[in-house]
Amino acid sequence: MFGVLFEQAADGQRYIDWLLSGLGWTLALAFFGWWIAFGIGIVVGVGRTVQNRFFALPARLYVEIFRNIPVLVQMFLWYFVFPEVVPSAIGDAIKQIPPPWASFFPALLCLGLYTASRIAEQVRAGIEALPKGQLEAANALGLSGYLTYRHVIVPQALRLIVPSLTSEVMGIYKNTSVALTIGLMELTAQARQISEATFQTFTAFGAATIVYLCLALIAYQAMALIDRAVRIPGSAPATLPADQDLSGEVQQGALPGAMEAAK
Amino acid sequence: MNALDFSIVAQSWPYLWSGLLFSLSLTAAAFAIGMILGTCLALAQHFEIPLVAQIIRGYVAIIRSIPLILVLFWFFFLVPIVLGHLSGNGRPIPIGATYTAFITFGLFEAAYYSEIIRVGLRAVNKGQFEACQALALSTYDTYRHIVLPQVLRVASPIILSQTIILFQDTSLVYVLSLTDLLGAASKLAQLNGRLVEMYLVIAVAYLVISSAASQCVATLRKRYAAAAAR
Amino acid sequence: MPQATVSNATRPAEIVVVENVMKRFGAFTALNDVTLKVDRGEKIVLCGPSGSGKSTLIRCINHIEKHDAGRIIVDGVELTNRIADINSVRCEVGMVFQSFNLFPHLTVAENCMLAPIKVRGISQSEARDRALDLLRKVRIQDQADKYPAQLSGGQQQRVAIARALCMQPKIMLFDEPTSALDPEMVKEVLETMVELAKEGMTMVCVTHEMGFAREVADRVVFMDRGNIIEEAEPETFFRDPRTERAKAFLNQIIH
């Protein structure tokens, strides 16, 4: 069934090479986008929980804006609108970027900033789920606000949200496909191109689907490993309170099923 | 780029409005299909119906693991074929992008809603089932009147959050060249060359609608939390 | 070891001065015009029915609760909203909570080392030596590299005491340190507290452990409904309480 993938395409490459190149872009986008998202997400998530309005208000605005505009629209904003609204010198420089990168960087920025808003909400939920006594104990020891967050609050909150971060990892690699709308030839785009070149739609989409399923499995396993690695000795698996927990479980639920399906 | 000129947006307002209506009706239809089908899928898994439960589990896992755009491509390709087989003459029946979108989003969302409901079903207190047995309620009545109402109540904030995500995701029908809010804006932008204004305006439209809906969900969540604390 | 509390002519005898302090939570008045002075080296036991304001009072002393009116002066520094003042006061005031509040993601030793390194600025090795020293003192040194969740409640509370002592505070506040513990673990924590008292540490303890109060307290302060109702030496207070409310309270806790 997948034999067609090893035939030569018009450009001299095999179709499987198209798929692999697509996978490369997908992985690059998901990987670098994740670290942008993780970094910004922690900062913004912390900002959502502090008393100081100077931090809390921008953090709230950030989350509202980036979470409530569809990824595809944000993609267009970075790709089409951003170069036009910045000073023209910068705008012109952006337009000089050669093809694959001209799509890659806006997509990276878009996915990173969007996913950051979602991670920020998880971080906030994690922080709010911590017992009040932790903050009080840190205060009583004379730790400053920064030190309290750096050494007491954030390390615990992150452990608490590893399960729900799994769904964000899955979210960002799935959302990489949105980059095809601005011309990035990632996995889904390549699958469509193969389907159009060979008329073997079932094979093309099937191959891409299998690759995505494998990515999901890897992401799930990796996060499960991390969860185990950072678990505090002697304590029960981390859980968030009721409704957070429910959604966490919903998000996690996909993958034990996926493993059964894969067998 | 010249100075921004939003008058173009005012002129094309009716077209954008019809695009928005399409986005909203797609959301509503997908919500309705997704909730009904999703409840059935969840119950089938909950009762561990042999084979059916496994197939559903596989379906849900695959749908949730691959990008929505790929799902759209799949259905765009598969739905005519499947309909052809169902009609008996074996030849694909093209039904057009609009119906494909409705079917796809309905089936796609069913996978997400079913997962929410399935977890909700598991969370129902065992004592509720025991009480129903003690009252000699039939299985149907137990689920219809006792269990499902509780599940839907507990899960409603998450279901609504998922629906807001669904509304945002409808913008992806852009890849099927449909005229939803984003599609309308992008077609206008190509016509009149005013893409900056167009995309900014619809970004704000999406932002306002989703934020307002999120606020409602947050209020609901607080009310439930307060009720639960009492 | 706690720092020597040598007083000299320029330093007032009181280490804590609470003057006319008010604290409200919404419509509820937790502290109503409370005045209390604690001398250096003095051991005070605060008792009273629940909701009487005793926990709120000691939580105000290191500004975990903000008082609404009145003055609180700790070691010559008045508690206002200035963060620098608050943090410097908190360095000198150790606190032990009812629910321990150990940091679960840090080992026992790391719990004890965090604040001395980050706030006092001492070196890693010095902090570790000091932590092990104090853990030995609370007889728990062999658990230094375990995590809090691996210890019993009594052990955790002793770690919490060691953690507070690692900052070398001038005064220790105890907020019902034994009420979350199983009965068989109460004793080990009380023994640690008695030892500390005998070494001359200034202590303010919210506790219902009357045996402890008899043994170490210089003064028992009885609170009810946000007011200090009675202050006396323990023997006097237990034998012959002056107020009806204190009598009723003592009757209740004897059972």
pLDDT attached to residue B59 = 93
Q: What is the pLDDT of residue C2?
A: 45
Measured on CA atoms in the order B122, B124, B129, B135, is the torsion positive or negative? negative
- Cα→Cα distances C159→A85, A135, A143, Å: 58, 18, 18
Write down the pLDDT at residue B41.
Answer: 95
Give pLDDT, residue C11: 64
Set of chain A residues whose Cβ sits within 8 Å of the Cβ of C61: none
Entry field: residues in chain B: 230
Q: What is the mean pLDDT of chain A?
A: 87
Instruction: Tell me if A174 and B210 make a contact (CB, 8 A cut-off).
Output: no
Predicted confidence (pLDDT) per residue in B57-79, tens digit: 999 999 999 999 999 999 888 88
Q: What is the per-residue pLDDT for A2?
A: 78
Q: How far apart are CA B161 and CA A13, in angstroms?
A: 44
Provide the pLDDT for residue A123: 96
The 10s digit of each residue's pLDDT in C114-158 is 999 999 999 999 999 999 999 999 999 899 999 999 999 999 999
In the predicted structure, residue A105 carries a pLDDT above the cut 90:
yes
Predicted confidence at residue C7, as pLDDT, reads 42
Yes or no, beta carbons of A134 and C101 under 8 Å apart = yes
Q: Which residues pair with C203 in a beta bridge?
A: C43, C172
The answer to whether the CB atoms of C167 and A141 lie below 8 A apart is yes
Q: Please say if the pLDDT value at position C8 is more than 80.
A: no
Task: State how far the Cα of A163 lies from the Cα of C5, in Å rounded to an integer.
Answer: 50
User: What confidence score (pLDDT) does residue A68 get?
Assistant: 95
Choose among C166, C123, C175: nearest CA to C144: C166
Do the chains B and A touch each other, judged by at least 3 C-beta pairs below 8 angstroms? yes
Structure confidence by residue, pLDDT tens digits, A192-241: 999 998 888 899 999 999 999 999 999 999 999 999 999 888 876 655 65
* pLDDT-based confidence at residue B3 (cuts at 50, 70, 90): low
Per-residue pLDDT at A253: 38
Nearest to A141 among C99, C115, C146 (CB): C115
List chain C residues with CB under 8 Å of A142: 87-88, 90-91, 115, 119, 167
Instruction: Please name the member of A134, A139, A142 whose beta carbon is closest to the beta carbon of C103.
Output: A134
- Select the residue from A130, A135, A139, A141 to test the C interface by mutation, using most C Cβ atoms within 10 A: A141
C222 by Cβ neighbours in 10 Å (0-12 / 13-18 / 19+) ranks as buried
Sheet with C14-25: list strands edge to edge. C28-39, C14-25, C69-74, C77-78
Q: Which residues from B are below 8 Å from A257, CB to CB? A: 57-58, 60-61
N residues, chain A? 263
Q: Which of A23-37, C5-19, C238-252 has the highest mean pLDDT?
A: A23-37
Looking at residue B89, its amino acid is N
A151 → closest Cβ in C94, C100, C118? C118
> Is there an interface between C and B (3+ Cβ pairs < 8 A)?
no
The pLDDT of residue A261 is 34
Model pTM score: 0.87
> What's the mean pLDDT when you consider all of chain B?
89
Q: Do B182 and A70 touch (CB under 8 A)?
A: yes
List C-alpha distances in Å: B230 to B120, B147, B155, B223. 21, 21, 19, 11
Q: Among residues B209, B169, B141, which one has the least CA distance to residue B67? A: B169
Q: How many CB pairs under 8 A join A and C?
A: 79
Q: Does C have 3 or more CB contacts under 8 Å with A? A: yes
CA distance to partner chain C, nearest, from residue A104 (Å): 39
